[in-house]
Chains A and B, each alone.
Chain A
Amino acid sequence: AQKITQTQPGMFVQEKEAVTLDCTYDTSDQSYGLFWYKQPSSGEMIFLIYQGSYDEQNATEGRYSLNFQKARKSANLVISASQLGDSAMYFCAMREGWGAAGNKLTFGGGTRVLVKP
């Protein structure tokens, strides 16, 4: 079974509108972390936001927020007020384990976002 599932291979969003990117995960660990990365056409992986499994509040970083629904094992990324520069691939990832004991990040297949002017 896939550990990280991103069901939207691609989507369009109108500039200045909000967009939600879906991510569901599968783990039996109680301690885990969820990440979102942005990968523009240049190829670099840009860290956006992190949510720990014990964090009670949804993480927010500027225009990015993570809608964490633990019981549903869902960690959707919300980008508010989309900008043309938001056009990129977006990857959800999970790290199982805690602190230095947790090792590899497992990535989903990604969602390509294209922001229309």
Chain B
Amino acid sequence: GAGVSQSPSNKVTEKGKDVELRCDPISGHTALYWYRQRLGQGLEFLIYFQGNSAPDKSGLPSDRFSAERTGESVSTLTIQRTQQEDSAVYLCASRSDIDGNTIYFGEGSWLTVV
């Protein structure tokens, strides 16, 4: 597709369940980011992938959060044993190496933990 694609767009889950969020970056973009945005707040950095380099996981809030990406393809953010404070929009973005000055965001995955 032309833009960053995220799925699901909305997810309601019960506390304690695991969830997987998917991000399909723009084709050819080697850099991929995950951010979290709680209601009415700014964006919190979670994790960054750059090609085959080791990811920058410095923003992951706990060991319940993990993310994977194989090469320059799809990334999956997994939240285990979800808690109510995990309720947020999870935004994915990708960046081209050719034009590193523009970073495109997907429309986000809205997660609600009940």
Which of A99, A104, A110 has a CB less than 8 Å from the CB of B45? A104
In the complex, the answer to whether A91 meets B101 with C-beta atoms within 8 Å is: no
Of A16-24, A41-49, A62-70, A73-81, the stretch lying at the interface with chain B is A41-49
**B20 at the A/B interface (Cβ < 8 Å)?**
no
CB distance from A29 to the nearest CB of B (A): 15
Number of chain A residues whose Cβ lies closer than 8 Å to a Cβ of chain B: 24
**A57 at the A/B interface (Cβ < 8 Å)?**
no
Which of B30, B45, B104 has a CB less than 8 Å from the CB of A47? B104
Write the chain A residue with the least CB distance to B59: A104
Produce 1/0 per residue, B75-114, CB < 8 A to A. Answer: 0000000000000010101000100111111011010000
B interface, over-half SS: strand
State A55–B28 Cα separation when bound (angstroms): 26
Which of B30, B43, B101, B108 has a CB less than 8 Å from the CB of A50? B101
CB distance from B89 to the nearest CB of A (A): 6
Write the chain A residue with the least CB distance to B110: A43
**B21 at the A/B interface (Cβ < 8 Å)?**
no
CB distance from B79 to the nearest CB of A (A): 19
CB distance from B55 to the nearest CB of A (A): 10
Q: How large is the interface on B (under 10, 10 to 19, 20 to 34, 35 or more residues)?
A: 20 to 34
Within 8 A of B (CB), among A9-52: 33, 35, 37, 42-45, 47, 50, 52
**A106 at the A/B interface (Cβ < 8 Å)?**
yes
CB distance from A90 to the nearest CB of B (A): 11
Given A33-B101, A52-B101, verify A43-B108 contact (CB < 8 Å). yes
In the complex, the answer to whether A43 meets B43 with C-beta atoms within 8 Å is: no
Which of B30, B33, B35, B105 is packed against the most chain A CB atoms within 10 Å? B105
Write the chain A residue with the least CB distance to B58: A104
A-to-B contact residues, CB < 8 Å: 33, 35, 37, 42-45, 47, 50, 52, 91, 93, 95, 99-100, 102-110
Q: Which 5 A-B pairs have the closest CB atoms?
A: A45-B105, A107-B43, A109-B42, A50-B101, A103-B48
